[in-house]
Chain A
Amino acid sequence: MENIEGIFENYRTEFDEINNKRNRIDIARKDVTIFSKRLIFFLHRDMPNQNKFKEAQKKLEQIHQKIQIIADEISTDEECFWRYSFTISWGIEEYIEAVLFYYYLKDNKLKIKIRKKFKNNLIFPKDYLGGLADLTGELMRYSTDAVAHGDTQTPIKVLEAIQQIYSLFISLPRSAKVDMNKLSVMETSMKKIENICFKIQLAQEEFPKVILDETLPQIIPQKAKILTKKRKNNYDPQFKQSKEQKEQKESKEN
């Protein structure tokens, strides 16, 4: 009975080790989720392509460093991973989403396989599927954005990718225990894009493309016009030059 406190002190050291490790992994995991979210928002922003992917690559490496911290923490044995798998999988899902979105924009193609970057296998099918399901939401946002800027081609491409993902999810066995919430969200976003594609097709049938391009500026309300002008100002070098010339002329006249 007297040595009970000694026994509990041994338990304490064991307990503290576990908790400290969990803390360190948790911090790294939070960083992974934050950086991944930032990368996705960054990819949604409009930018000239070359600079965009250079910077995105940098951000991706930042995430890889953080994941490496987790990988080092659990490098001792596999048991360790499963003890903390619940905390880790949140971050990994977000990371998968960001990486897949990045590769989709870069190669204009859905990339299913990811190269093994880390010594320990951190990416498990369940987390991977979670990331893949979340990806469809980002793709939907991306394509609706593109339509708003007058790009009628991307939604058709994106639709193909989303349908591919959806078919994968549907054909999974019951034992996969797919998150039904995610599946229904995926379905709604897929239907949204299907609807958009249908409307674009209708519009193109009714107005041949040449006429559409000519009449579009008149149809679009004033606000949208300003927006498109701004866009051109920023990213179209020719437009920028001509505008600068105009301004110079005006200043000379004055």
Chain B
Amino acid sequence: MEDVLLKLTENFEEENSTHEQIINSVKEIKVINAQIDFLLEKIHSKPNEMNEILNQTKEFQETLQQKYSSLFDLIPKGKYYKYYYLWKATGSQSVFLIAIIHWFENKTLITQETVKNLFHPSNKEDISQIGIDLENYLFGLIQLSNELSRFAGTFASHGKYQLVQEIQNFLNVIYNGFKCLNLKNDDLRRRFDTLKYDLKRLESIQTDIHKLKGFETFLEKNFQEKDEMEIDQK
């Protein structure tokens, strides 16, 4: 009985120490995530300064990469999914931030492979480490589309109609991509359902813009005609 107890105690202590180390490194990642998020939030109010703000995030992206490599080094070999739940949400948050910066810069979708290449363990050729997992990546994409639909609203209010059109096209592409997957009735599918509302929101923004444009042209035409008539009468 006593040696069983000893063995168990050793086992649990060891597990607990790695558990705590991972929690600590995840906390550090969360801080940097929040800092990038704070910077991106500025774009909502000042879309004209977008490029400068994106340049400011570069520095944080590098530290984020370092933090991730130290996190992946902590995870013991073959026990990736044991500690997965500890940083699942944080991982998808980072994917979202990277993906949205990538979209602003290139106007394309970031693939899972590029994310994996960004966040990798310190030994890059270590295949046993999984890194950013597919589930992480997909959750990040849904968060991306949620945020982009919000961006569409703020861009429209700043008169950047071209960007709104681009966002709408991009979200349609993501939506079609997700439809290729056989989703189970789980958390991911529920999050996927929110995509529809993002699309709906974008469509209503677009119709408002069209209405506005139509009204403007209508006003211009009418006033021009009136002016012309007045001139004729004189």
Contacts and interface: CB of A to CB of B under 8 A. Distances in A.
Interface of A: 1, 4-5, 7-9, 11-12, 14-16, 19, 77-79, 82-83, 85, 112-113, 125, 129, 164, 168, 171-173, 175-176
Contact of A125 (B8, B80, B109): B8
Interface string B9-42: 1011101100000000000000000000000000
Contacts of A113: 4
Contacts, number: 76
11 contacts: A8-B177, A77-B78, A78-B78, A82-B79, A112-B4, A113-B4, A129-B8, A172-B9, A173-B12, A175-B13, A175-B15
Contacts of B80: 79, 82
Given A78-B79, A85-B82, A168 B15 contact: no
Interface residues of B, number: 32
B5 A171 contact: yes
What secondary structure prevails in chain A residues at the interface with B?
A: helix
B130 interface: yes
Contacts of A12: 180-182
Contacts of A16: 182
B134 interface: yes
Interface in B96-136: 108-109, 111-112, 130, 134
B107 to A, nearest CB: 9
Contact of A1 (B5, B81, B108): B108
Contacts of B177: 4-5, 7-8
B234 interface: no
Given A4-B109, A5-B180, A14 B134 contact: yes
A4 B182 contact: no
A70 to B, nearest CB: 16
A176 B12 contact: yes
B231 interface: no
Q: Which of the listed residues B80, B134, B180 has the most CB atoms from chain A within 10 Å of its own CB? A: B180
